Structure 1
């Protein structure tokens, strides 16, 4: 098994109003020796914004903003700007987040050229009611129970409320174009899907109708092992290695006592990332310490960001939806372990 060191708590809530009730789920990007963390900050009433701090190296805090860098401005995000992930493509930073209006949670995008000022590009995932999604699946001959069994708010779905949209979140981009195309992952429960486009303007309603009609072929990972058997979702932007794209994601196991969120790892083909090469058949790490077992939501390790210093991979994660912790491990050891769990060698 891969040796993972739980380094402990990195950030906690403060007396500042915007983060007085919790900090969690940080996106991360390294620029030289400086690491930027863009984390979800929660204030009273469960309203979220994105806070920002910088680190010298992987963990030494050198600055922390006293106001959010991104906050609700539009109707589609009035209740929350949540769970940032960030990467750089060419000269542009792509910061994705979940926009929450109190009912709907949808993947959205903001871009920047300096990590200081961001321009919101709006929602970039499909905006369909569950009722319309169901009709589309039926028309395409897709097993609707596979998706509609994962209602995010059960009181809405039986009524087929048109205002309740299909949740689509955990969105983030690959840090470079793949075969000349922008590539991002997203999550329609219970799986992880992939989008390839020439430009953001391609994301039209017509595009999504065609895409969702072929949803099975646009799905790259499905729940497989016991620790992720209920559903999975994206974690941090993929990391390019000689052996493939390393994907750190989260897996969920639903139990009578509540859901258990673990960090997981998979390896995708460098040239065709829709092809999964390998996957750990055990959680990379899971809740075990007090700060992960008890909090706003118990039993949560939710990775959103990584940085690499030499061969050491640092993973930043939300701990029990209340604090930010980080873990470290050897990248080469993880890749070697993944190669022992290649898809073609599986017998399960």
Structure 2
């Protein structure tokens, strides 16, 4: 396993290198990336996006003893493409346990639409799919609802996708829906409600609800009319100026909810994906109390710079061993890698960068 250190100007990050690579198996011969992580004591369950020729994705499974020693890896997908809404891919899983159920969220891709979907499990082996849980609305409907929003508080980039699709003639396509990705649950209910981060481009929003059946078209229409009040993080710093997306499930600490996310900026070489971090209020996670004005880490190693999509670090899961926080991420859309940081130091730095 390759090993290197990257020292940020403020935070010390140790990059431990690649822990999973594509194999010769047909379902994952093009890439393994963007894993959902669930830790049970010393064991780490790894649910990863497995990509085959033609960019068709399923979800693979591996398990490690400790943060990076792989001791099990399935030779077949754990979750396959079963429905029309995911016929091109089940992608980028995240996973939490709430009460006695595991909730695995993922991006369902049908070749046109990329939308958030949910599956649940009692044993981490058998998953029952619950379908799409993000807004089932068209871009025209999105614009209509958005026009009722508080325009003074709304980043004009929220109109970008509508305007882009209008320019290239896609708005009138009957089956094209609002793209909503990076669906992440908090690991427990707050005030009796599920709390979920999601990404309507370009920022990260938060939705709270009692049952996933509540997430109807009417619910989402009313939600978008108040979208400015649901935005948790919008692009702000240069390294994330294009757009953001939620990463791993928020981590509960005594100082607040630690949110690791990705931020994207356009450069002279192409878009570059960075890992970033913020701290939310522990009682009211709609309030951001700290946010680093620089990346937690950025593409710098060969496995992050060159791959299927170059210059990408895409954090999606974490595991905690004592004070060492291990961050699992997709590297260049081809590999799964891990980096390590002191949780205590990271919280301290966030407290010095209050919002």
Unaligned runs of 5+ in 1: 344-348
Mapping 1:313-332, distance limit 5 Å: 313-332=325-344
3-state secondary structure, aligned to 2:294: coil
Q: Could you tell me which residue of structure 2 aligns to residue 201 of structure 1? A: 213
Counterpart CA distance in 2 for 1:83 and 1:67 is 17
Q: Could you report, residue by residue, the CA deviation over 1:123-150 in whole angstroms, capped at 9, with x for unpaired residues?
A: 1000111111112212445468421314
Counterparts of 1:210 and 1:175 in 2: how far apart (Å)? 26
Match of 1:225 in 2: 237
Determine if contact 2:245/2:262 at 8 Å carries over to the other structure.
yes
Q: Using the alignment, how far apart are the partners of 1:72 and 1:153 within structure 2? A: 29
CA distance in 1, matches of 2:66, 2:167: 46
Match of 1:291 in 2: 303
Q: Structure 1 residues 183, 152: CA separation in 2 closer, same or farther (over 3 Å shift)?
A: farther
Q: Is 1:38 aligned with 2:47?
A: yes
Q: Provide structure 2 residue ranges, at least 5 long, that are not aligned to the other structure.
A: 1-9
The aligned residue for residue 348 of structure 2 is: 336
Structure 1 residues 158 and 255 mapped into 2: Cα distance closer, same or farther (>3 Å)? farther
Task: Say whether the 8 Å CA contact 1:131–1:162 is kept in structure 2.
Answer: no
Deviations 1:83-134, CA, capped at 9 Å, x for gaps: 0000100000010000000010001000001000000010100011111111
The count of residues paired between Structure 1 and Structure 2 equals: 343
Query: TM-score, normalised to structure 2's length?
Result: 0.94
Residue among 10, 15, 18 paired with 1:9: 18
Query: 2: distance between equivalents of 1:231 and 1:65?
Result: 34
With over 3 angstroms needed to count, the CA separation of the structure-2 counterparts of 1:199 and 1:129, relative to structure 1, is same
1:22 aligns with 2:34: no
Query: 2:126 aligned to 117, 129, 138, which one?
Result: 117
Distance, in Å, in 1 between the alignment partners of 2:113 and 2:342 is 38
1:215 corresponds to which of 224, 227, 239 = 227
Q: Is the contact made by 1:222 and 1:232 (CA closer than 8 Å) also made in structure 2?
A: yes
CA distance in 2, matches of 1:38, 1:4: 24
Match of residue 255 from structure 1: 267
Where does residue 131 of structure 1 map in the other structure? 140
Answer yes or no: is the 8 Å Cα contact 1:126–1:168 preserved in 2: yes
Q: 1:187 maps to what in 2? A: 199
Runs of at least 4 residues off by over 6 Å: none
Aligned to 1:278: 290
Matched, 1:50 2:62: no
Superposed CA deviations along residues 280-303 of structure 1, whole A, max 9, x for unmatched, are: 010000000111011100100000
2:186 to 137, 156, 174: 174
Inter-partner Cα distance in structure 2 for 1:55 and 1:85: 17
TM-superposed deviation, 1:159: 4.0
Per-residue CA deviation, residues 130-175 of structure 1 (Å, 9 max, x unaligned), is 1111122124454684213146974885441232211001001000
CA distance in 1, matches of 2:150, 2:169: 21
| 2:321 maps to which of 281, 295, 309 | 309
Tell me the distance in 1 between the aligned counterparts of 2:352 and 2:148.
41
CA–CA distance in 2 between the matches of 1:141 and 1:174? 27
